[in-house]
């Protein structure tokens, strides 16, 4: 007789598993910059984060400083550039795709930055578990996967539950910066975030392009395809969290 196994609950995530094969320069960066990768215990899948995982960020960065997190930064175009401009801040990337993390490490090394650390994990899990409430200076979600099909919209990163999480993690003066090249996703983001009781749209509409943000790989793709780029920027509403 077959043994009854408990049904495995498959979590809906905003990414797909891809081959983690790296090219030679990614392998080199992965080897040489591995001290920038912060290892965290997993819960079940290898991109998950154990509920009791804890990281001492001042220790991981070698100093206390205001913390900026990017989720899904891909090959690190933005974080490597902005971290070089602001050496006084600590920058943390949560990215699931290892070859992209290796490219991020390589760009950071070329830019000579010492203030970037990376965790290879689902950024939703990592933000929830590893970042203390009310502690984030900035959170960035630039060009998240658009998940076009209606039946896949539940996989979109920017959603009401995710906005609840970001609102809990931002400091009172903290800022959430977003950008996308997909008009329907941009409108869906506005709908969720403009309505959120703890968030306030800093521009009462679309945000101007953030002058620090360099053009990323995916932004370049969107522009080459003739799409409009939408920037959004939210802060914490005074009294909105209570
Ligand atoms: C469309 S790409 C955009 C990359 C980059 N922001 C850019 O503009 O070039 C989305 C990235 O988000 C990553 N990603 C998607 N969901 C994620 C999650 N929950 N946690 C961490 N990374 C995620 C993917 O692996 C991919 O690298």
Lowest-confidence segment of 15-19, 43-47, 64-68, 80-84 by average pLDDT: 15-19
Strand order in the sheet with 90-95: 116-120, 90-95, 67-71, 136-142, 170-180, 230-236, 199-201
Name every residue whose Cβ is closer than 8 Å to that of residue 19 and which is 6 or more positions away in sequence: none
Q: Is residue 121 part of a domain?
A: yes
pLDDT of 20 higher than 90 = no
Residue with the smallest CA separation from ligand 1 atom 15 is 15
Residue 6 domain-assigned? no
CATH number at residue 132: 3.40.50.150
Query: Is 107 a domain residue?
Result: yes
145 is an active site residue: yes
Q: Which residue, by CA, sits nearest to atom 7 of ligand 1?
A: 218
Task: Write the residue with the smallest CA distance to atom 23 of ligand 1.
Answer: 72
Q: Is residue 2 part of a domain?
A: no
State which ligand 1 atom lies nearest to the alpha carbon of 77: 9
pLDDT, mean over the chain: 94
Taking the C-alpha atoms of residue 113 and residue 153, their distance in angstroms, rounded to an integer, is 36
CA atoms of 213 and 236, how far apart (whole Å):
21
**Domain contains 133:** yes
Q: What are the tens digits of pLDDT across the range 61-118? A: 999 999 999 999 999 999 999 999 999 999 999 999 999 999 999 999 999 999 999 9
57 lines ligand 1 (CB under 6 A): no
Cα–Cα dist 217/75, whole Å: 8
Structure tokens at 15: 């990414």
Specify if 17 maps to a domain: no
Strands 67-71 and 199-201: unpaired
Which pLDDT band, with edges at 50, 70 and 90, does 204 fall under? Answer: confident
Q: Is the dihedral of CA 14, 61, 83, 68 positive or negative?
A: positive
Catalytic residue among 77, 125, 133, 145: 145
3-class secondary structure for 177-197?
EEEECCHHHHHHHHHHHHCCC
Residue 179, domain extent: 24-236
Q: Helix or strand or coil: residue 91? A: strand
Outline where the chain has alpha helix (H).
24-32, 57-61, 77-85, 98-111, 123-130, 160-169, 183-194, 217-224
Is 78 part of a structural domain of the chain?
A: yes
Q: Examine residue 16 and state whether it is found in any structural domain, yes or no.
A: no
Answer yes or no: is pLDDT of 212 > 90. Answer: yes
Q: Please give the tally of structural domains in the chain.
A: 1
Q: Inform me whether the pLDDT recorded for 58 exceeds 60.
A: yes
Among 139, 145, 165, name the best residue to mutate to test ligand 1's pocket (greatest count of ligand atoms within 8 A of Cβ). Answer: 145
């Amino acid at each position: 007789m077959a043994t009854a196994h408990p049904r495995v609950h498959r979590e809906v995530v905003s990414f797909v598993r891809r081959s983690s094969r790296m090219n030679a320069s990614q392998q080199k960066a992965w080897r040489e910059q591995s001290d920038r990768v912060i290892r965290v215990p997993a819960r079940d899948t290898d991109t998950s984060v154990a509920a009791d995982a804890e990281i001492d960020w001042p220790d991981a960065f070698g100093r206390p400083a205001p913390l900026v997190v990017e989720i899904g930064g891909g090959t690190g175009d933005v974080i490597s550039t902005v971290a070089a401009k602001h050496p006084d801040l600590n920058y943390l990337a949560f990215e699931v795709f290892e070859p992209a993390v290796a490219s991020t490490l390589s760009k950071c090394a070329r830019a000579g930055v010492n203030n970037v650390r990376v965790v290879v994990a689902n950024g939703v899990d990592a933000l929830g578990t590893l970042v203390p409430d009310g502690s984030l200076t900035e959170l960035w979600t630039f060009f998240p996967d658009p998940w076009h099909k209606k039946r896949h919209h539940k996989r979109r990163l920017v959603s009401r539950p995710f906005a609840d999480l970001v609102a809990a993690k931002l400091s009172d003066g903290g800022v959430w910066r977003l950008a996308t090249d997909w008009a329907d996703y941009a409108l869906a983001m506005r709908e969720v975030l403009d309505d959120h009781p703890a968030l306030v749209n800093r521009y009462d509409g679309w945000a101007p392009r953030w002058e620090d943000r360099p053009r990323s790989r995916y932004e370049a793709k969107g522009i080459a395809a003739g799409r409009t780029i939408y920037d959004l920027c939210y802060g914490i509403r005074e009294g909105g969290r209570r």
